[in-house]
Amino acid sequence: MLLEIWQTYLYQPVFNLLIWVYNNWTDQSLGWAIVYLTFLLRAALLPFTLLNEKANVDNADIGDEILRLEKELANEPELKKEEIRRLLKTKKVHPWSKVMVLGMQALVLVLLYQVFLQGITGEKIMQILYPVINFPGKMNTVFFGFELGASHDIYWSGAVMFILMAEIYSGLKVKNTPLTKADLTYFILMPVSVFVVLFWLPMVKSLFILTSIVFSAVVHQISKILFKPKDKKVKSAS
């Protein structure tokens, strides 16, 4: 049942969209088709991304408030949980918006893995191709000299690692609190872990993640213009 839902309603539609993009937009380049597909899917989820960006701006200080509640109500777990829930409700935090974006990206990651795991030969493509989608023939899986299905690639996985490190560093710079050992551990361990995982996976995964990171970075910069933080009211001494 679950396998049928995955195959019919998730995998097959996205796969057919990928082939359509490959046929019509990319001059027979699967690498560019994946880039375009990533942008299309992220664009479709743009309302959720913008909602999440706006929430981040509006609730820039929510982390400090939660830490304060956890410290003050450390011995009263039920009250602490209720107060945090009330705080999130007051701040109108919508975690589901981020879940939607991350969920779709996870879906595409699994899809791309399945595509290259099962192979993209003519017979296997024909089995899941919609009648309205033209058969692409032998697909071009080389992208800037790199084979999309090859693993153990240090260049693309390394690019993802360094960009993640840059993003984390940028985030740590704007923190109002001193850096902790946990911050430094996260700064190093997170990107390195991603590199190790991507190193063992087909290079197409790195391309997808890299494209998604670029999209997120562009949206983040636009959000800075659209959603400027509210000025804190300072009470003047009478």
The answer to whether position 129 is within a domain reads yes
Q: Residue 170 domain-assigned?
A: no
If residue 128 lies in a helix (H) or strand (E), which one and from where to where?
helix 122-128
**How confident is the model at residue 234, as a pLDDT?**
42
The C-alpha atoms of residue 65 and residue 68 are separated, in whole angstroms, by 5
The pLDDT of residue 235 = 41
Note the pLDDT of residue 236: 40
Which pLDDT value is given to residue 2? Answer: 80
Query: How many domains would you assign to the chain?
Result: 1
Q: How far apart are CA 17 and CA 101, in angstroms?
A: 18
Task: Convert the pLDDT of each residue in 180-202 to its tens digit.
Answer: 888 899 999 999 999 999 999 99
128 in a structural domain:
yes
| Residue owning tokens 């000025």 | 231
Cα radius of gyration (the chain): 22
pLDDT of 231 reads 57
**Domain, as residue range, for 136:** 2-141
Name residues whose C-beta falls within 8 Å of residue 151's C-beta, 6 or more positions apart in sequence.
Answer: 199, 200, 201, 202, 203
Cα dihedral 51, 52, 54, 58 sign: positive
Q: Which residues of the chain have pLDDT under 50?
A: 233-238
How far apart, in whole angstroms, are the C-alpha atoms of residue 62 and residue 80?
15
Half-sphere exposure at residue 95, Cβ-oriented, CA atoms within 13 angstroms: 3
CA distances from 181 to 6, 49, 59, 185, 189 (A): 42, 30, 25, 6, 12
Residue 193 within a domain: no
Q: Answer whether residue 150 is part of any domain.
A: no
Looking at the domain assignment, is residue 146 inside a domain?
no
Q: Is there a domain that residue 71 lies in?
A: yes
Residue 104 in domain: yes
* Phi/psi at 147 (5° precision): -80, 120
CA–CA separation, 46 and 198 (whole Å): 26
